[in-house]
Amino acid sequence: MLIWLVCQLYTWADDKLCFTNYFIGMEYPLTFGFIEHVSLQDINLLSNVYCPTAECQLDQFISLGLCDSCTSQDASLDGNFWNGAAQHEDEYQGCINTAQLGNTETEFRWNYTGMKDHVAAGEPVRWERKCIIRKPEYPELDMRIITDYLGGEAWPKVGITNSDLRFSNGYRLGIIRLERDLLYRSLRLYTALNSDPVWNPSNSTPQIEFCIGDYERYQDNVILDPYKLPLPAVSAFTCFKSTSDITRVAEIDRLGLVNGTISHCKVSYCAKRYSGTTIRNTVVSYDSLEEWPLHPTGDDPYKAGSGYDQAFRAEGLNETFYIGNHSTLWLGSSTSRILKSTTLSTYLLTYFMHHTWPDFFRGLAQVGSKVIQGPGNFAAINNTSEAYGPDIFVDVRWA
């Protein structure tokens, strides 16, 4: 008999009971699964199944899970990095340039050429580019490229900040900045999570791998039409990966120029249909996996608006999923806490030598799905199917 734990994620009206159940049953596998993912171990669903024989097969089934979605684009933070929008607009992308000569600081706004010529013609004390990447429904990414001049030498710094993080429950993730050490005359990269250097650039080119993350909060007091509510994302991310040599940002011909890839990613609840699931030799596999976004059903607005479960369906499927308001908050806050973990940061360097941000969030969604469908979720439902064992044949021969 094969037992596969699938679920519809519920919550209870009793906040204390909800808190206790989720954190005892799901916190550890969620954390451990993320660490396994970034330490380059396979994400296997073995802990969710019990197969008493050498092979088990499960019929098609549908379960709640997490799905990822990412869009990426190459970008060059040069003089043309401005989409023409005003700085306060939601779709704004651009760089504001300033240069300081002596005690005078001059702002060139989007005039990159003017700033570059100004620096080349004088004896600068400091110049700075503040590049903002903004897209609706995603956290704003604020990248700063700075060079300070001391004793005729240039000391570049490349970093990413977001002044609104402390107000929006956001978090930083990744390897964020390059700095020249004034004492040891060396380049060092620092993680987003602490101030310890993590990269020795003596034999490699420093890069930036960075994300600003934020999870959406469910606010009862701002709900007007609860039955029309979209399902909030567990987390949304704006990410940047540099592809150019950022040690050259102080050179006049590449002044403040950083090339890279911008990614906007979300991890959200979805319906997943598994077909042809097999467990053999401790490995779980399936023939195909289809994913559908969830939409609110529109029924029972009182229940949705008063802190209880919301009903969601996927187009073309008959199943209804009930996802509690506390469930979305818990999974979002747990995700942010895990991604802030210093333990996780120890693996990021090795991971991003061969992977991208979309790869990272694809694995994150797989881990989350495994935990939601696993034995730690008290709302899981057992599926049973056939288990196959060896047939024994006895061949008797008479003399």
Q: What is the mean pLDDT of residues 298-308?
A: 57
Helix (H) or strand (E) holding 332: helix 325-339
State the pLDDT at residue 223.
46
Going by the DSSP 8-state scheme, the letter that residue 313 receives in this structure is: E
Helix (H) or strand (E) holding 371: helix 357-372
* Residues 211-227: tens digit of each pLDDT: 888 766 444 433 445 55
Nearest Cα neighbor of 201 from 147, 134, 247 is 247
More confident: 67 or 232: 67
Nearest Cα neighbor of 143 from 241, 74, 72, 216 is 241
Top mean-pLDDT range of 160-164, 247-251, 336-340: 247-251
* Sheet bearing 277-280, strands edge to edge: 49-50, 2-7, 380-388, 55-58, 277-280, 283-285
pLDDT band at 382 (very low <50, low <70, confident <90, very high): confident
Going by the DSSP 8-state scheme, the letter that residue 230 receives in this structure is: P
* Residues 41-83: tens digit of each pLDDT: 887 766 788 888 888 988 888 889 999 999 999 999 888 888 8
- The DSSP bridge partners found for residue 54 are none
Tokens of 358: 């979309």
Measure the CA–CA gap between 175 and 398, rounded to whole angstroms: 76
Average pLDDT, the chain: 78
State the pLDDT at residue 192.
64
pLDDT for residue 186 is more than 90:
no
Q: How many Cβ atoms from other residues are within 10 Å of residue 82's Cβ?
A: 19
Lowest mean pLDDT, pick from 39-43, 248-252, 273-277, 285-289 = 39-43
In the chain, % of residues over pLDDT 90: 14
Tokens of 354: 């061969």
Nearest Cα neighbor of 237 from 206, 213, 221 is 213
